[in-house]
Amino acid sequence: MGISNYISYLQRSEEELAKAFKDVSKEHMREPDVYEMCRLFASWSLDHVQNLAAMLSRYGKEKENEPGQMVYSLLGRTTGSLGLLGDLRLLWVMTNEVKLGWIILQQCSKALQDEKLKLACVQFGSQTIRQTEWLTMKIKHSAPQILTVPL
Amino acid sequence: MGKQAYQNSRDSIKDVWGKRTPYHQHWTVRVDKQVTEEPDEWIQSACVLCSNGCGLDIGVKDGRIVGVRGRAEDKVNLGRLGPKGLHGWVANNSPDRLTKPLIRRNGHLEEATWDEAMTLMTLKTKELVEKYGAGAIGIYTSGQLFLEEYYTLAVITKAGLGTPHTDGNTRLCTATADAALKISFGTDGQPSCYADIDITDCILLVGHNVASQQTVLWMRILDRLAGPNPPKIIVIDPRNTFTAAKADVHLRLKPGTNIAVLNGLIHLLIKNGNIDEDFIQNNTVGFKELEKQTAKWTPELVEKVSAVPADLLIKAAKIIGTAKTLLSTALQGVYQSMQATAAALQVNNIQLIRGMIGKPGCGVYQMNGQPTSQNTRECGANGDFAGFRNWQNKKHIKELAKLWNVEPSKIPHWQPSTHAMQIWRYAEEGSIKMMWIQATNPAVSLPGLERIRKILQKENLFLVVQDAFLTETAKYADIILPAALWGEKTGCFTNADRTVHISHKAVEPPGEARSDLDIFFDFAHRMDLKDKDGAPLVKWRTPEETFEAWKQCSKGRPCDYSGMSYEKLSGSPGIQWPCKEEYPNGKERLYTDGIFNTGYDICETFGYDIITGVERNKKQYKANDPGGRAVIVAADYETPHEEPDDKYPLWLTTGRSVYHFHTRTKTGRSKALNDAAPDVFVEISHEDAHSYGIEEGDMIKVVSRRGSVKAPARIADVIPGTIFIPFHYGYWDKDQSEHERAANELTLPVWDPVSKQPHFKYAAVNMTKVS
């Protein structure tokens, strides 16, 4: 079934996202709120990974691997506050990709009349939405200082 | 005149709370007095050494302050004063007051004229703004100034300079009270009044050691306890404090577990049906989620997480649940802990689900840590927007723009004002190149002091410090502006139950010291700050004119001062806001009609995701507009950011002593107060003392990932596994080479996601005996 392929893709995306959050938290340890929040978000994404694994076992074995997130490799290229802004933007892209993934899966769950899957998508998808909201807020708050006030 | 010509009321060092006047139908007068000689005159004022704001008169003789006396008619204290109030004034006369401006030249601070200092300051400011923009300037103010100073500063920074980087040390003490009130009730503003203590059946104190922190409020409670119908007292605190000693039930919890205990209480209140279903239905939103969230918090789970015995929790919940009237209070044990805002909201929730807001004997005190911190929030000098306005509400911004006669776009509102810890981070990074620090001492009071010292020493950070003394922070300054203290200037301030007092100038400031207000006026004038028609932006030149300007700003908003005046406040027993046509003598309680300030066009915030701190926008809020109902917000338990582990196996918690205020800049200069609490100590439990082989008085070294402190041990009734260090002790009165005295050497630079208040109340440490 195509859906198992998709669940597997979403699982890998969440795994990569968790790793990205952890890396960004370490890279920007001097920004305490970034550090703490990225670690929290990494734990959410890892939790999603576990739950997606459980869903996979219900929908059958995964097929061949799709290519991973290209965006992840762009992280950490620049240092300092510009680097922070860049990393936050990339995280934003990755998180929105995952958000879309949950939307797609939720739609499928309706077509399949799978209430359990739908509820899972609502629960985990809402956490992904909260991740994106925080990233948007942090970017909005930091960008003016980073981009208009030179060091 | 002999020594007996004046009669001081008591030795408040030995007898902190003084003689009891048991409560029978009303609280009676007890005038406390402490003078060194009999004054020639008494000048009306109020105390500025805690957020109680006790009415007092300043005694003056030959142009000097010689003592204080409580005002018998003042509604806050009926004449009483605590040890800090009775002795703190001595600092005004200290010989080491700053009396001349100082400028750093060739590495040394040298005396200069006001003209030289202000010229350099404004030149530097203009230079930086031109080259880098207003975002290069940061203002770090204090909870120690007067209303008029805050309002002027707010206008200067928001409509003049246009920098979003304005905050103060109130971020460290009451940002959470502010946030919790806004989220639950729509706007800031304490719902109750101190008179509720006189009639309530039950007082729940959450992380609030009122016996040490607001001694006169505790006197009021003690007088009730000594009367015929004493209220029940429930205390939540990891230490067996003087407050806890009077509790009917003391819930002694592990650090970091406030949410567990509060959720546990709420769980039991709901289970036992001790809730006002009509009030919940008609006057609140969000109850269902609270019910869901607290369902799992059985007494057994609470005990597992917090170490509070299940049977004690049940006992406490029964008392809280069956009390006919209930008053809750919260302070730093909530605000400086993990999940600060979430926990403060649960305290509000307890009142809301019991329907106990806006009624006599009922309510909540989300306490303030400082005497005038209420005014920073009202005037918008701390990051809030003047008059409890909402930075996301375009209509509110337009109101301010019209009032100040500037374009709305001039007022920075593309983000909420930058909070203190972020301002310091920008300074660390280098984008903020000038910090103007006013009446506060971040070199001792911020978390993680080693890092703060590095920032203060930065080459490219231009530091202007405005203070009355050469504090640890001032030692790093490029310019020092000598400021006047309380008693040396006229102005008003507001306490934690909305009572406004006027403080008249009693004596001249020493030397060339000037009031903060005069310094702000001078700055605005030299910076040529104009409104959009080219007229001076700051249109007032005296404290009274400023007060009148503030009245206009507050009119129509919940914190309405429009019915007050200097004339009315002088000789008054204190006037609570709102004070307007409808309430010419002020209003005792808020929300008496069960209608809150949560309507989308009135509210000060659109609410938050309390785990991530993401603020909701207008569209989201309007979709579920509470429209006048209080907002109940549920929270699940999260483990603290740092927990004890193998290397750092103990919890550290920090706090205060009854004899000192902040970093002892004033109280350390009163011999009586300083002798009472001269130095730092580490409080450890009997159990830990036993396992570490530590005896009373042994020198201990406490280490965290940030730094270390050396202090003698004091064995006390604190929960095993936790140690306590008071945060007051910096370095101005001791050798500065070794930084091992201030508790904040050890603390974490992390903060609550909503209130941005730092987590001073927990850190992982280890301790060893120093031979």
pLDDT-derived band at A32 (thresholds 50, 70, 90) equals confident
B 119-178 residues with CB < 8 A to A: 132-133, 135-136
Long-range contacts, stretch B624-628, CB < 8 angstroms, 24+ apart: B624/B285, B625/B598, B625/B599, B625/B600, B626/B186, B626/B285, B626/B596, B626/B598, B626/B599, B627/B598, B627/B599, B627/B600, B628/B595, B628/B596, B628/B598, B628/B599
Whether the CB of B643 is below 8 Å from some CB of chain A: the reply is no
Residue A1 has what pLDDT? Answer: 56
pLDDT, tens digit (0-9, with 9 covering 90-100), for B250-269: 999 999 999 999 999 999 99
A 128-147 residues with CB < 8 A to B: 130, 133-134, 137, 140-141, 144-146
Residues in chain B closer than 8 A to A145 (CB atoms): 135, 418, 426, 431
Kindly report the CATH number that applies to the domain delimited by B650-769.
2.40.40.20
Residue A66 has what pLDDT? Answer: 59
Longest dimension (CA), chain B: 74
Residue A133 and residue B749: Cβ atoms within 8 Å? no
Whether the CB of B414 is below 8 Å from some CB of chain A: the reply is yes
Q: Chain-wide mean pLDDT for chain B?
A: 95
Residue among A134, A148, A151 minimizing CB distance to B614: A134
pLDDT, tens digit (0-9, with 9 covering 90-100), for B597-616: 999 999 999 999 999 999 99
- Write down the domain spans for chain B: 3-93, 102-169+390-576, 175-367+597-631, 650-769
Residue B2 has what pLDDT? Answer: 44
| Residue B227 burial by Cβ neighbours in a 10 Å radius (0-12, 13-18, 19+) | middle
Count how many residues are written for chain B.
771
Q: What percent of chain A has pLDDT over 90?
A: 72
Whether the CB of B451 is below 8 Å from some CB of chain A: the reply is no
Residue among B426, B609, B614 minimizing CB distance to A145: B426
| Residue A83 burial by Cβ neighbours in a 10 Å radius (0-12, 13-18, 19+) | middle
Q: Give, for B8, the enclosing helix (H) or strand (E).
A: none
Q: How far apart are CA B308 and CA B238, in angstroms?
A: 10
Q: What is the pTM of this model?
A: 0.95
Residues in chain A closer than 8 A to B133 (CB atoms): 148-149
Find the residue in A nearest to B134 (Cα): A149
Whether the CB of A82 is below 8 Å from some CB of chain B: the reply is no
Residue B736 has what pLDDT? Answer: 65
Closest approach of A138 to chain B, Cα-based (Å): 9
pLDDT, tens digit (0-9, with 9 covering 90-100), for A67-94: 555 567 777 777 788 999 999 999 999 9
pLDDT, mean of residues A40-53 = 96
Residue B7 has what pLDDT? Answer: 81
CATH architecture assignment, domain B102-169+390-576: 3-Layer(aba) Sandwich (3.40)
Q: What percent of chain B has pLDDT over 70?
A: 99
Residue A36 above 60 pLDDT?
yes
Find the residue in B nearest to A35 (Cα): B750
pLDDT, mean of residues B430-459 = 96
Distances (CA, A) of B440 to A16, B137, B139, B140, B387: 45, 17, 11, 8, 24
Residue among B416, B430, B750 minimizing CB distance to A36: B750
Whether the CB of A116 is below 8 Å from some CB of chain B: the reply is no
Residue B542 contacts residue B529 (beta carbons within 8 Å):
no
Find the residue in A nearest to B412 (Cα): A144
pLDDT, mean of residues B511-536 = 98
ipTM over 0.85 threshold: yes
Tokens of B160: 């003049």
Residue B135 and residue A37: Cβ atoms within 8 Å? no
Residues in chain B closer than 8 A to A40 (CB atoms): 611-612
According to DSSP, the β-strands at B102-105 and B363-366 are unpaired
Closest approach of B366 to chain A, Cα-based (Å): 25
Residue B612 and residue A145: Cβ atoms within 8 Å? no
Least Cα distance to B287 among B593, B754, B629 occurs for B629
Residue A150 and residue B414: Cβ atoms within 8 Å? no
Sign of CA dihedral B409, A150, B450, B677: negative
Closest approach of B419 to chain A, Cα-based (Å): 11
Whether the CB of B459 is below 8 Å from some CB of chain A: the reply is no
Residue B751 and residue A33: Cβ atoms within 8 Å? yes
Please count the residue pairs, one from chain A and one from chain B, whose beta carbons lie less than 8 angstroms apart.
Answer: 63
Residue A46 contacts residue A18 (beta carbons within 8 Å):
yes
Q: Look up the CATH superfamily of B175-367+597-631.
A: Dimethylsulfoxide Reductase, domain 2 (3.40.228.10)
Residue A150 and residue B749: Cβ atoms within 8 Å? no
Mutate: best of B614, B617, B751, partner A, most A CBs <10 A: B614
Rounded to 10 deg, the angle between the A32-59 and A115-148 helix axes is 150
Least Cα distance to A21 among A90, A122, A96, A100 occurs for A90
Closest approach of A43 to chain B, Cα-based (Å): 12
Residues in chain B closer than 8 A to A134 (CB atoms): 609, 612-614
**Which of B265-269, B368-372, B465-469, B519-523 is least confident?**
B368-372
Whether the CB of A79 is below 8 Å from some CB of chain B: the reply is no
Q: How far apart are CA B732 and CA B753, in angstroms?
A: 33
pLDDT, tens digit (0-9, with 9 covering 90-100), for B38-47: 999 999 999 9
Residue B317 above 70 pLDDT?
yes
Residue A68 has what pLDDT? Answer: 56
Residue B3 has what pLDDT? Answer: 46
Residue A151 and residue B428: Cβ atoms within 8 Å? no
Residue B136 and residue A137: Cβ atoms within 8 Å? no
Tokens of A99: 């958000």
**Which of B279-293, B539-553, B672-686 is least confident?**
B672-686
HEC per residue, B383-403: CCECCCECCCCHHHHHHHHHH
H-state helical runs in B570-639: 618-623
Residues in chain A closer than 8 A to B429 (CB atoms): 30, 80-81, 151
pLDDT, tens digit (0-9, with 9 covering 90-100), for B356-372: 999 999 999 999 888 89
Closest approach of B612 to chain A, Cα-based (Å): 7
Torsion (CA) B618, B622, B626, B632 in degrees, nearest 10: -50
Residues in chain B closer than 8 A to A30 (CB atoms): 425, 428-429
pLDDT-derived band at A3 (thresholds 50, 70, 90) equals confident
Residues in chain A closer than 8 A to B414 (CB atoms): 140, 144
Residue among B416, B432, B609 minimizing CB distance to A133: B609
Residue A150 and residue B431: Cβ atoms within 8 Å? yes
B40 three-class SS: coil
Residue A134 and residue B430: Cβ atoms within 8 Å? no
One fold for both B175-367+597-631 and B650-769? Answer: no
- What b-and-e string marks burial along B189-223, b requiring 16 or more CB atoms within 10 Å of the CB? bbbbbbbbbbbbbbbbbbbbbbbbbbbbbbbbbbb
Closest approach of B161 to chain A, Cα-based (Å): 15
Residue B215 contacts residue B16 (beta carbons within 8 Å):
yes
pLDDT-derived band at B486 (thresholds 50, 70, 90) equals very high
Residue among B133, B414, B615 minimizing CB distance to A149: B133
A17 vs B369, more confident: A17
Find the residue in B nearest to A138 (Cα): B614
Closest approach of B750 to chain A, Cα-based (Å): 6
**Which of A4-13, A38-47, B256-265, B301-310 is least confident?**
A4-13
pLDDT-derived band at A119 (thresholds 50, 70, 90) equals very high
pLDDT-derived band at B4 (thresholds 50, 70, 90) equals very low
Whether the CB of B616 is below 8 Å from some CB of chain A: the reply is no
Find the residue in A nearest to B638 (Cα): A40
Residue among A140, A141, A151 minimizing CB distance to B431: A151
Q: How far apart are CA B303 and CA A71, in angstroms?
A: 46
Residue B708 above 80 pLDDT?
yes
Show the domains of chain A with their CATH numbers.
2-143 (1.20.1260.10)
**Which of B144-153, B271-280, B364-373, B732-741 is least confident?**
B732-741
CATH classification number, B3-93, choose in 2.130.10.30, 2.20.25.90, 3.40.50.1970, 2.40.50.140: 2.20.25.90
Residue B1 above 50 pLDDT?
no
Whether the CB of A33 is below 8 Å from some CB of chain B: the reply is yes
